[in-house]
Structure 1
Amino acid sequence: MRTKYLYIALLLVILSSCNKFLDIVPKDKFIPTTVEDYENMLNFATVTTFGDFYEDLITDDAFLPEGEPGNLYTKQRLNNRKIYLFDKNAFGEGDNDVIWSEGYKRIFYFNTVINNVLDAQGGSEAAKRSVRAEALLGRALEHLLLVNIYAQHYDAATAATEPGVPLVLEADISAKHRRNTVGEVYNQVIADLQEAIKDLPLNNKLNKFRARKAGGYALLSRVYLYMGNYEQALANANEALGLYSTLANMNNYKVIIPGPFPFVPGAPVGWTDVPRGIDHPETIVARTFLRPFGLGQDVCASQELTALFNNDDKRWTLYYANGWPPAPPFNYMNRYGVKIFLRGDFFSNAINTPELYLTRAECKARANDLGGALADVNLLRQNRIVPAAYTEVTAASLDNDPLKVLRFVLDERRRELAFTGMRVMDLKRLNKDPRFAKTIKHVAEGKEFILEPNSPNYLRQIWPAASVMNPDWKLNP
């Protein structure tokens, strides 16, 4: 029997993509023919989601208390408990691993645009190329996440041989695929972004779910950061910030009413008035998790993450609470010395300016530009810390020690990006440097579970629903 289907097992995924067309367009079938048709595909709800917030449960940021009241461990599905216990085989053939299934579903949408829009009816050549560029950025975003979840972290010495993930460049459900190498995936992501940047619009069309030129440079900066190419990461961060550099002062936001609750047009979202991702001034390209609140109400900050905050930090007082509702009979801080993560808003987990400032700061610190690195972090902190408590951090206050400055930058990155899906990749890349390698410990069911630096358990196993259809694929160790 011919082995085909990258992301179909018993026709699970691509056919569900086809069904999405039926869900959105009330016709027997939808065949895009015009530039407008292809552009509308970029507005579909399917392509405005990204990632799987449960991957954060593998990190040192997460703590799931057991027991009642306040249990957060056993309320998780079995798959998510396995992730928390560092079990790379968290998903069986009958389970839905949404990073894989939804990621490749979105790639199918993006490829449909990329492969066909230049020959579509109507529209100028510039309009066609602009739509195609947005789809190229979307495809790059998905492939970059997939290779970092299911493969070893990029290493120039092994990238050419290390198994990565299938590169899918055609909207063909019958095509045979292989596990491309990590190097091949990264090369394609870079090529897609470099091509996209030429034709991406300067401003988002319609809303921030749509891509813009600054987003192309920002994502390219992320790629080079993961590769350890700090010179190129810095150059692309500069390009992105030269086009869009807005930071929002979090002192202007406040807790308003117990939530989260469903979005109602014109009403605040969640328990704060922090704008949702699509409206947030810091968003460059927006996406939401499949469950818009992410891990809100489902996880506590670990004691280690908690120690990085204080009550003068608005991220701590707006995104975390002692319990839920905010004044409940049960108090996580009293029992465990931690807070529960709420962030009850539809936030962006894709591309934004704070990440860019932190990437630029890290690159400057690694290049021994200590003043430049701290200038970027101080600018961010001015927009995060209560004014009466804010103090500028200088190189002198860190003993003019490059390592101390770099650690300070990395701590700030951890505070800012907690529970947005970024910590796993940061742990994997930093583990390659003995100065930052760390062992993570989670306790559950009366046992201690340990994740060593560079452990193969960082690699989520290839989804069995896909690998069973492709027995020639080499599985993760």
Structure 2
Amino acid sequence: MKRLLIYTSICLAVAAAGCKKYLEQPPDMRAELNTPEQVSRLLGTAYPQANYMAFTEGQSDNVADKAGGVIENINTDPFQFRDVRDDQEDSPEYYWNACYEAIAAANLAIQVCDKAPDPENYRSQKGEALIARAYAHFMLVTFFSETYDPATAATSPGIPYVTEPENVVIKQYDRKTVAYVYEMIEKDLLTGIPMLDNKRYSVPAYHFTTAAAYAFAARFYLFKQDWTKVVTYATLVFPDNNITPLLRPWNTTYRTMTYLELFAVYAKATEPANLLLVETPSVYGRYYFRFRYALNPAKRNEILGPNVTGGNWVFRNQTFTSGGSENLLIPKVNEYFVRSTVNAGIGTAYVMVPLFTAEEVLFNRAEAYTYLNNTSAAISDLNTYAATRIVDYNPGAHAVTATKVRNFYGTNNLQTALIRTILDFKRAEYVQEGMRWFDILRYRIPVTHVVANGGGTFNLTGNDPRRLFQIPSSAAISGVPGNPR
């Protein structure tokens, strides 16, 4: 009996020690973030892994009714200016959720950096997290709130600006105002930029390098209409003002490529024009030219027809047909399909999305120069761009001049003519990529969609509340009201 009690006591002691060790473990076996390298891996998820091209392009003036083609809510509803009846990939709701997932990752990274015993060793990670957080909020306020206007920003509802990880099941949030959101974006952006370290990235194109952060700053201040800062940050993207090597060589190298080669190179991490890329679950790559509401020959002629240079867009020669004469594509948006298993017939389609490019930075600087009345600098930037986009470009014949832009647009106002030139150049550059929507928002450009075969029209005026994509109804449980309709 005495030996049995001793053995029992020993077993109980061992079991107790084992229980203590077990209970000391995190209940969900979560990975602990306790090194800068681990935080860096977390930051790979701090970028919105969702594609906005389908709903922004579908709502823009770049698309027409082809009277036939693939029917999907992510294309049909934007064309008819309806709230998108879908919450899957390529929808506004999916994008909203992806942005807040990215913000959650950024906030967790910032928390770890702040609580680390050696925070200086986490400096560049915190910088990237701050800028990633700012970017996701900027995209949310751009799509789901009124466009920034100094006269109304202090009263227009914004979106929740989340700055810390959630620790409750359902947390209540306040939309506050567009002005508040912009203040927070600017604070995060300016705090984060000096903290970045480009040497830390093994594949820089998928992270906020200093160049990508400057490109973001140029876009942010363009929306904020702070033209001097647009010029400042845009210029920082181009060391020694050596711009051409960063632009896509459309009228030279690209011009001789097959469409398969163009697909492969356009969103490649080694393409110098791509300042920031993100991998997104998306079926847009397989449908963007086959949607019923998409680019057709008439729209191609409108967008890629005569331009102020007097030359021809190289894009027109690189526009291909697929499955019918109405289905036009410029080889940019390529799908990468990942099978669930090696032999599976199902999987996930991905699209690499260029979030910032050198061309956009150049356009933003030209626009800012125009508003600062430095029209000669704006024209210089436009000629730098045109020299890489016009077939057989000849400065003597194709150079943009003040006289040309006035005559082309039929106005004596040089500033107005230059702005219209910039917007038309951007429209041609980014057709089928959804970028036109940003300019439609900023300039309150009205959009009319004509239904084929006399089916009527859908109109979106400059002040139509449907220009704001609808906030998901699921956000209401967190106290976030929807947009008016």
TM-score (norm 2): 0.77
Measured in 2, the distance between the counterparts of 1:359 and 1:422 equals 13
Measured in 2, the distance between the counterparts of 1:103 and 1:48 equals 5
Partner in structure 1 of residue 338 of structure 2: none
**Please, which runs of 5 or more residues in structure 1 have no aligned partner?**
1-26, 260-267, 334-338, 432-436
Partner in structure 1 of residue 54 of structure 2: 54
Q: How do 1:70-469 residues align onto structure 2 when only pairs under 5 Å count? A: 71=69, 75-88=70-83, 90-91=85-86, 97-120=93-116, 125-172=119-166, 174=168, 175-202=171-198, 205-207=201-203, 208-242=205-239, 245=243, 246-250=246-250, 251-254=252-255, 272-291=263-282, 294=285, 296-299=288-291, 300-301=294-295, 303-304=298-299, 306-310=301-305, 312-318=312-318, 320-321=319-320, 323-324=321-322, 328=323, 330-332=324-326, 339-345=328-334, 348-387=353-392, 391-399=398-406, 401-431=414-444, 437-443=445-451, 446-467=455-476, 469=477
Is the Cα–Cα contact under 8 Å of residues 64 and 299 in structure 2 kept in the other structure?
no
Amino acid at match of 1:248: R
Q: Deviations over 1:446-473 (max 9, x none)?
A: 3321111121011111101222x13563
Residue 444 and residue 196 in structure 1: after superposition, are their counterparts in 2 closer, same or farther (change >3 A)?
A: farther
TM-score (norm 1): 0.78
Partner in structure 1 of residue 22 of structure 2: none
Measured in 2, the distance between the counterparts of 1:296 and 1:185 equals 32
Q: Deviations over 1:253-307 (max 9, x none)?
A: 2575565xxxxxxxx5xx5453424221112222244327646434532634532
Q: Deviations over 1:12-32 (max 9, x none)?
A: xxxxxxxxxxxxxxx953232
Partner in structure 1 of residue 9 of structure 2: none
Measured in 2, the distance between the counterparts of 1:396 and 1:347 equals 40
Is the Cα–Cα contact under 8 Å of residues 267 and 354 in structure 2 kept in the other structure?
no
Residue 309 and residue 347 in structure 1: after superposition, are their counterparts in 2 closer, same or farther (change >3 A)?
A: farther
Sequence identity of aligned pairs in percent? 22
Is the Cα–Cα contact under 8 Å of residues 451 and 457 in structure 1 kept in the other structure?
yes
Give the number of equivalent residue pairs.
415
Partner in structure 1 of residue 345 of structure 2: none
Match of 2:58, SS? Answer: helix
The Cα shift of 1:96 comes to: 7.9
- The structure with the greater share of residues assigned to helix is 2
The Cα shift of 1:247 comes to: 1.9
Match of 1:287, SS? Answer: strand
Is the Cα–Cα contact under 8 Å of residues 174 and 479 in structure 2 kept in the other structure?
no
The Cα shift of 1:125 comes to: 4.6
Is the Cα–Cα contact under 8 Å of residues 277 and 348 in structure 1 kept in the other structure?
no
Q: Which has the larger radius of gyration?
A: 2
Residue 443 and residue 62 in structure 1: after superposition, are their counterparts in 2 closer, same or farther (change >3 A)?
A: same
Residue 420 and residue 472 in structure 1: after superposition, are their counterparts in 2 closer, same or farther (change >3 A)?
A: closer
Is the Cα–Cα contact under 8 Å of residues 106 and 133 in structure 2 kept in the other structure?
yes
Q: Deviations over 1:175-216 (max 9, x none)?
A: 321112111111111111101111112467111101111222
Match of 1:307, SS? Answer: helix
Is the Cα–Cα contact under 8 Å of residues 296 and 342 in structure 1 kept in the other structure?
no
Is the Cα–Cα contact under 8 Å of residues 297 and 342 in structure 1 kept in the other structure?
no
The Cα shift of 1:252 comes to: 0.1
Is the Cα–Cα contact under 8 Å of residues 267 and 274 in structure 2 kept in the other structure?
no
The Cα shift of 1:438 comes to: 2.8
Match of 1:186, SS? Answer: helix
**Please, which runs of 5 or more residues in structure 2 have no aligned partner?**
1-27, 306-310, 335-350, 407-411
Amino acid at match of 1:456: P
RMSD: 3.0
